[in-house]
Amino acid sequence: MEFRHTMKGRRALTAVAITTGLVLTVAGCGGGHDQNKSDKSASSSTPAKDDSGNKDKESESSTSEQVLAEVKGGGLTLKVTSAARDEGGFVTVEGTVTNGSGKSWVAADWRGDERELARNGGSIAGASLTDQTGKKKYLVLRDTEGRCLCTRFTGGVQPGESTDWFAQFPAPPEGTTKVDFQVGSMPPASIEISEGE
């Protein structure tokens, strides 16, 4: 009988402790309402447009300074902004593509002609680097299932929009620093490979 009363007492104490904890939690959550108001007033006092405008200008100027090559064709503008040799024995080429064609672009002709590359969909899988001096052409690297180590343009690129892209290639010999980047029907773009960090 004594044991039974002890268990009832413990249950009651546990219920009180849980209820107290819940009440304190609810009270703690309710106090954040005033803080949100002060956060809103603080954020509204800072000129958000000026901050974002400056960031856009900075990113535009830094991007325009780093363009290694730019080619146009079929209403598209392809920019190469980086070509870095990495220690792993490959070169990563990056850039942007802008769709000025007036219609949605899905990169179907950029994926390459090989049957294995068709599974990549709209991508930059058909790109290549050509070493004119060494007379060698390097194709985009692929994994064991045939997926390219490159950008897939899922959903395409809408008119007037730009999107970033990348592609990884086997690295040309150490002495080779200038190569031609080419994809689809775009003209080749001569780029210089920099040493990665």
Q: What is the pLDDT of residues 139-193, one digit of tens each?
A: 999 988 888 899 998 888 999 999 999 999 999 998 899 999 999 889 999 999 9
Average confidence (pLDDT) over 50-57: 44
> What pLDDT sits at residue 71?
94
Tokens coding 61: 């100027």
Give dist(CA 63, CA 170) in Å, integer: 26
User: Could you tell me if 181 and 191 are in contact, meaning their C-beta atoms sit under 8 angstroms apart?
Assistant: yes
Above 70 in pLDDT, residue 47?
A: no
The CA distance from 6 to 41, in Å, is 54
For the four alpha carbons of 109, 112, 114 and 118, in that order, the dihedral sign comes to: negative
Average pLDDT over residues 49-64: 44
Distance, in Å, from the CA atom of 73 to the CA atom of 140, rounded to the nearest integer, reads: 21
Query: Which amino acid is residue 47, in one-letter code?
Result: P
CA distance 85 to 7: 71
- What separation in angstroms does the CA of 51 have from each of 60, 64, 178? 14, 20, 39
Higher-pLDDT residue of 195 and 91 is 91
Buried b (16+ CB within 10 A) or exposed e, 98-120: bbeeeeebbbeebbbeeeebeeb
What percent of the chain is predicted at pLDDT more than 70? 66
Query: Between residues 95 and 50, which one has the greater pLDDT?
Result: 95
CB 117 within 8 A of CB 148: yes
187, 152, 196, 184: which is closest to 70 by C-alpha? 187
Q: At a CB cut-off of 8 Å and minimum separation 6, what does 183 contact?
A: 78, 110, 124, 126, 127, 128
Kindly report, residue by residue over 108-154, the tens digit of the pLDDT: 888 877 777 777 778 899 999 999 988 999 999 998 888 889 999 88
Residue that wins the pLDDT comparison between 66 and 166: 166
- What's the chain's average pLDDT? 76
